[in-house]
C-alpha cells in the first residue's frame, strides 16, 4: 500500500503525532513468548526482511527462536505522512503463533483500534472515528472521511474483471453530492467523484462543472488530473456534447 506523503498537518501545536503515540504504545509491548521489532528503517522493506530482522534480534538478545513477534516494514510505514500523522491503515505483520500475537497486540493504543484479519492476514491499526446515525463522518474529520470513502470504494468482489459496488444509501449519496457543491476544488473532488460514478450517480451538472474546472486548471495536461477516470465516463454516459473534444 502506498500513500502520498505530505508535510501539512492540522494537528494543534504541542500535540503528539500519530507516529509518536503508536511508537510509545509499541514500546510497552512484549513478554511471555511475544516480542515486537523496533520501528522499521528502509532496510526492512518486505515481510522477508522483517523475519530476518526478528531472527537477528532474537540471536543478539538471547530470545528463544520460537518466540512469536510483530512488526511493520517500510512499505507499511508509508501510512504515515512526514509529519507523523496517520494517513492510511498501518499494516502490522507477524510471525509465530497467531493467537499469541493477537493477545500481545491487544486492542491497540488509546484512540486507535486493531483489526484482526486471521491467521492468513496482517493486523490493521487505524484511528477510532465517529459517525452519525446514518454512518456518515464529520466532513472535517480527515480520518473518518478516509475510512468512509475506503468502505464505499470497496467492490463486492475483486475476483471478477467487472467491479460491482453496493448501492449507496440516500444519506451517503447526499453526503457525496454535498462535497461536490460549488466552488469546485479539484484536488478534493477526486475522492468523491469515484464512489459516485462507480454507481453511475454523478449528475450532469456536477460533470459539467468538473469538466470546466478541469479544463481551466489542467489546460494542456488534462490527463494529469486523476479525477478524469470518473468524470470522462460520466460525460460519455450523459452524452455531453464536449465529451469527445
Q: Where are the domains of the chain?
A: 18-127, 142-237
Query: Distance between CA atoms of 32 and 68, rounded to whole angstroms?
Result: 9
245 confidence band (pLDDT: 50, 70, 90): low
Cell numbers that stand for 188 in this block: 478534493
CA gyration radius, the chain: 22
Each residue's pLDDT tens digit, 59-75:
999 999 999 999 999 99
5 confidence band (pLDDT: 50, 70, 90): very low
Per-residue model confidence (pLDDT) at position 163: 83
Q: Mean of the pLDDT values across residues 9-32?
A: 86
The chain-wide mean pLDDT, for the chain, equals 92
First to last CA, the chain: 35
Please report, rounded to a whole number, the percentage of residues in the chain having pLDDT higher than 90: 84
Measured at the CA of 112, the angle between CA 155 and CA 16, to 5 degrees, comes to: 125
Q: Mean of the pLDDT values across residues 204-217?
A: 94
Each residue's pLDDT tens digit, 137-180:
999 999 999 999 999 999 987 777 778 999 999 999 999 999 99
Q: Is the pLDDT of residue 221 over 90?
A: yes
Per-residue model confidence (pLDDT) at position 157: 77
Per-residue model confidence (pLDDT) at position 86: 96
Cell numbers that stand for 133 in this block: 446515525
11 confidence band (pLDDT: 50, 70, 90): low
Which DSSP state fits 212? Answer: H
Each residue's pLDDT tens digit, 74-114:
999 999 999 999 999 999 999 999 999 999 999 999 999 99
Please report, rounded to a whole number, the percentage of residues in the chain having pLDDT higher than 70: 93
Per-residue model confidence (pLDDT) at position 191: 95
Cell numbers that stand for 47 in this block: 515481510
Query: Distance between CA atoms of 14 and 99, rounded to whole angstroms?
Result: 37
Q: Is the pLDDT of residue 9 over 70?
A: no
Per-residue model confidence (pLDDT) at position 2: 29
Q: Mean of the pLDDT values across residues 6-28?
A: 79
Q: Is the pLDDT of residue 10 over 80?
A: no
The answer to which of 20-29, 33-42, 236-245 has the lowest mean pLDDT is 236-245
Q: Phi/psi at 237 (nearest 5 deg)? A: -60, -35
Amino acid at each position: 500500500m502506498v500513500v502520498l506523503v505530505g508535510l501539512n498537518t492540522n494537528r494543534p501545536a504541542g500535540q503528539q503525532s500519530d507516529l509518536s503515540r503508536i511508537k510509545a504504545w509499541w514500546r510497552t509491548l512484549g513478554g511471555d513468548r511475544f516480542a515486537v521489532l523496533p520501528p522499521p528503517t528502509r532496510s526492512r522493506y518486505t515481510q522477508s526482511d522483517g523475519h530476518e530482522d526478528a531472527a537477528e534480534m532474537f540471536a543478539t538478545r538471547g530470545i528463544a527462536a520460537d518466540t512469536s513477534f510483530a512488526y511493520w516494514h517500510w512499505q507499511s510505514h508509508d501510512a504515515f505522512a512526514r509529519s507523523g500523522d496517520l494517513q492510511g491503515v498501518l499494516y502490522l505483520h507477524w510471525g509465530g503463533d497467531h493467537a499469541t500475537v493477537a493477545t500481545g497486540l491487544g486492542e491497540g493504543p488509546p484512540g486507535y483500534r486493531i483489526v484482526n484479519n486471521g491467521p492468513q492476514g496482517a493486523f490493521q491499526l487505524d484511528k477510532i472515528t465517529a459517525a452519525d446515525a446514518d454512518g456518515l463522518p464529520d466532513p472535517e474529520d480527515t480520518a473518518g472521511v478516509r475510512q468512509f470513502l475506503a468502505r464505499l470504494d470497496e467492490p463486492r468482489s475483486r475476483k471478477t474483471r467487472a467491479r460491482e459496488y453496493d448501492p449507496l444509501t440516500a444519506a451517503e449519496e447526499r453526503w457525496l453530492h454535498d462535497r461536490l457543491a460549488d466552488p469546485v476544488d479539484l484536488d478534493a473532488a477526486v475522492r468523491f467523484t469515484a464512489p459516485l460514478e462507480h454507481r453511475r450517480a454523478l449528475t450532469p451538472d456536477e460533470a459539467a462543472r468538473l469538466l470546466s474546472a478541469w479544463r481551466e486548471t489542467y489546460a494542456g495536461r488534462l490527463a494529469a488530473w486523476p479525477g478524469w477516470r470518473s468524470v470522462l465516463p460520466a460525460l460519455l454516459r450523459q452524452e455531453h456534447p464536449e465529451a469527445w473534444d
